[in-house]
Chains A and B, each alone.
Chain A
Amino acid sequence: MSEKEHIDEVSGVSTTGHEWDGIRELDNPMPRWWVWTFYATIVWSIGYTVAYPAWPLISDATRGVLGYSSRQELTTTMEAVSAEQADLRAAIAEKPLDEILADETLRRFATAAGDAAFKVNCSQCHGSGAQGSAGYPNLNDDDWLWGGDIEAIHQTIAHGVRFDGDDDTRFGEMPAFGDILSRDEIRQVAAHVVSFTGTPSDPALAEAGAQVYADNCASCHGDAGQGDVTFGAPNLADAIWLYGSSEAQIAAQVRQPRHGVMPAWQERLGDPTVKQLSVYVYSLGGGE
């Protein structure tokens, strides 16, 4: 630098030689503790890059002499958690469902685990709150197509409904009455079904439908429309309708019934998880 050293008059300290509008910067040394701390961080960083993964290479990075990796840490943590829960999982795997329900700790664990499994595997159709939607049953209510006690729920989840790949699957299919009954008869029987719980559009029509119902429907749905869980025949005398409750919707279902399909989960998820799902669904409020 061409300028020679400049000493500040007031403090007697040399300046950096830079000047801004007559203001000069003092060239005080850094405080010693600061400088030593800085050197210490440099030493530390060398040690750190040797001990831990640090330097990027072409396809990898240095591994560090301690062999640390965050993936490994995650695995270790997950294994530790699994080990902590091993007793509970084992108990759920070997105990029957009613014993799991009777044990407060097991029930809690199964409900929480079932909740997680439900969110991953079931919520796509039944909704994240198990509230269902048109065609997909609400699992919170007390209306069960295939039975609402814990064993029935377990059976349904394990083997599915109308699922081709499982010999034990729940099966029941309503014939398409559009080929069997006349249009008028279908209108009559729809009016009759509405009359179980509400007021049909035409009482005479409902009256006429009684005979049609007795001849064609009562064998599965029951004389008073109470349904039958053996065939998955829905209860027609309650407030809950999977495909709608209006006469037109009922008539459409009589003419050309729609049938939901649920996969069997036993093989995919294993029995312990299916048990947990059963306990969770059972605990939603409608379990019998």
Chain B
Amino acid sequence: MTLATENAASSTASREAVERIDAEAVNTAGKRQPLYAPRKKIFPKRASGQFRRFKWLIMFVTLGIYYLTPWLRWDRGPYAPDQAVLVDLANRRFYFFFIEIWPQEFFYIAGLLVMAGIGLFLITSTVGRAWCGYTCPQTVWVDLFLVVERAIEGDRNARIKLDAAPFSAGKLAKRSAKHLIWVLIAVATGGAWVFYFADAPSLFVDIATAQAAPVAYMTIAVLTATTYVFGGLMREQVCTYMCPWPRIQAAMLDENSLTVTYNDWRGEPRSRHAKKAAAEGRTVGDCVDCNACVAVCPMGIDIRDGQQLECITCALCIDACDGVMDKLGRERGLISYATLSDYNANMALATAGGTETINPDRVRREGGGLSDKVAHFHWRKIFRPRTFVYFGAWSLVGLVMLYALLTRDRLEVNVLHDRNPQYVLLSDGSVRNGYTVKLLNMIPEPRVILVSLEGLTGATMNVVGLDQPDDRSAAVPVDPDRLREVRIFVTLPADRLSEADTSFRFVVEDKASFESDVYRASFNIPEGSR
């Protein structure tokens, strides 16, 4: 008898004591459901362990951010809304705490999307489909809906029983309660969304008193429907059939990316009867075939089939298996986060380089425990050229945006030169050009902006409707956080026409904040004036 089998035999007593769950993976590799077949229901069992605790934390934080953010206040003075995060579509402004974005600054949002894209590459190449497993709204809301389902209908077995039970008053009560709470959650979800687009407290009152705009109710209705249908009814089908992410993310994984892995090099051959096997001289792996990993899976797969598209790497099977390994007095990590390269190395060890079937004895050392030759994930593997490139690109975009944000001007000028007519000859022989000048005061305070001519010696300007005498500059008051459009006539005297350099600049300045902007304009004169 080998040492390993002896070791296995020593824990045989508890091996058979582990309850075998009568679970069958709905999406198991061998029985893949055809697309036109009706969905088979999945009843995930409650898991407990470190990953489940981590997921509770993330659910708490992400839902908290989503539901509470619109209610945060942020004082911006009397001329701007005091909601910390607000997409003000009516006035075309986006407020995010101390940042205010005008429509022409939308490139910040584009930059954030680029960062999100590269960030996804970075996260996926290191810790695999962490987005799917922990933070994707679909995962979070399905988790939330499952909490409700468990609280009302009980855990896995009770739910299966209830589902199979004939129609009764009790079943109706439970089902109605469950769906009612789901709908309430869905309404709250759709309701929270609209608060990002208007002043939350006043909109809440408007909605409650049926005075809000129809589009608010429409939005809530649509998002209520999608939340209820996706989170309550469709669940894993959204990930498996509708979402492009699983396909894309798979392309970003490499052999050093962490994925949830069933370590069959120590688990196989799986057996519930180690004593009998030992008596027959066979070695058995650590897997006791208890189906705990299958029962907790919200995607209805068997992780022991290997990596598969359906797996969102929520790691609940790791928690379930670790619990069983603890009971058996074995090392945790029969199912674990592992990289393909480590897995391949360990597999080669267990199969003597692929020449034989898996023999767990080869990865065990005398006296129990895993052999020193077994490869484990080391944090240094995160730092590889690929992740450096991703991180570099991600930081570069971030730093460029940060720089642009910190140095941006809150005063801008845009000028439209009259094209028709290009110039106007006046009775004294001077030439006039018309300009439509747009002054952008991008802070929520009123300002007086000084517009002046630079270059074009001898020319004077007049702002239409301002009642100021012709001069080289004019002070234009602009409302807080607004654009003011003025007509400016620039006139060049007849005696200057022949010598004029027709390019000049409109300079706009705020004397109080020292902000300024410049527009390079040109001045048209009649042909032959030179």
A binds B: yes
> Which residues of A are interface residues toward B (Cβ below 8 A)?
28-32, 127-131, 138, 140-143, 197, 235, 238-240, 283, 285-286
B278 → chain A closest CB, angstroms: 41
A208 → chain B closest CB, angstroms: 26
CB-CB under 8 A for A142 and B35, given A129-B420, A129-B421, A285-B434: no
A88 to B434, CA, bound (A): 28
A140 touches B38 (CB 8 A): no
CB-based nearest A residue for B434: A285
B427 touches A239 (CB 8 A): yes
Interface CB pairs A-B, < 8 A, 24 = A32-B36, A32-B38, A127-B421, A129-B419, A129-B420, A130-B421, A131-B420, A131-B421, A131-B424, A138-B424, A138-B425, A141-B427, A142-B426, A143-B426, A235-B427, A238-B429, A239-B426, A239-B427, A239-B428, A239-B494, A240-B426, A285-B434, A285-B489, A286-B424
Binary A-proximity of B411-429 (CB < 8 A = 1, otherwise 0): 0000000111100111111
> Which residues of B are interface residues toward A (Cβ below 8 A)?
34-36, 38, 418-421, 424-429, 432, 434, 464, 489, 494
Q: What are the residues of chain A within 8 A of B420 when measuring CB–CB?
A: 127-129, 131
CB-based nearest A residue for B37: A32
Q: What are the residues of chain B within 8 A of A29 when measuring CB–CB?
A: 36
CB-based nearest B residue for A283: B464
B530 → chain A closest CB, angstroms: 16
Name the 6 nearest CB pairs between A and B, nearest first: A129-B420, A238-B427, A131-B421, A239-B429, A140-B424, A143-B427
Interface of A is mostly: loop
A130 to B419, CA, bound (A): 12
B38 touches A239 (CB 8 A): no
A240 to B464, CA, bound (A): 23
A235 to B429, CA, bound (A): 13
A141 touches B429 (CB 8 A): no
CB-CB under 8 A for A239 and B425, given A31-B35, A285-B489: yes
B483 → chain A closest CB, angstroms: 15
A283 to B418, CA, bound (A): 14
B420 → chain A closest CB, angstroms: 3
CB-CB under 8 A for A30 and B434, given A138-B421, A143-B427, A235-B427: no
A223 → chain B closest CB, angstroms: 18
Q: What are the residues of chain B within 8 A of A240 when measuring CB–CB?
A: 425-427
Which of B38, B428, B434 is packed against the most chain A CB atoms within 10 Å?
B428
A18 to B353, CA, bound (A): 47
A138 to B38, CA, bound (A): 77
CB-CB under 8 A for A141 and B494, given A31-B36, A285-B434, A285-B489: no
B33 → chain A closest CB, angstroms: 11
A130 to B420, CA, bound (A): 8
A28 touches B432 (CB 8 A): no
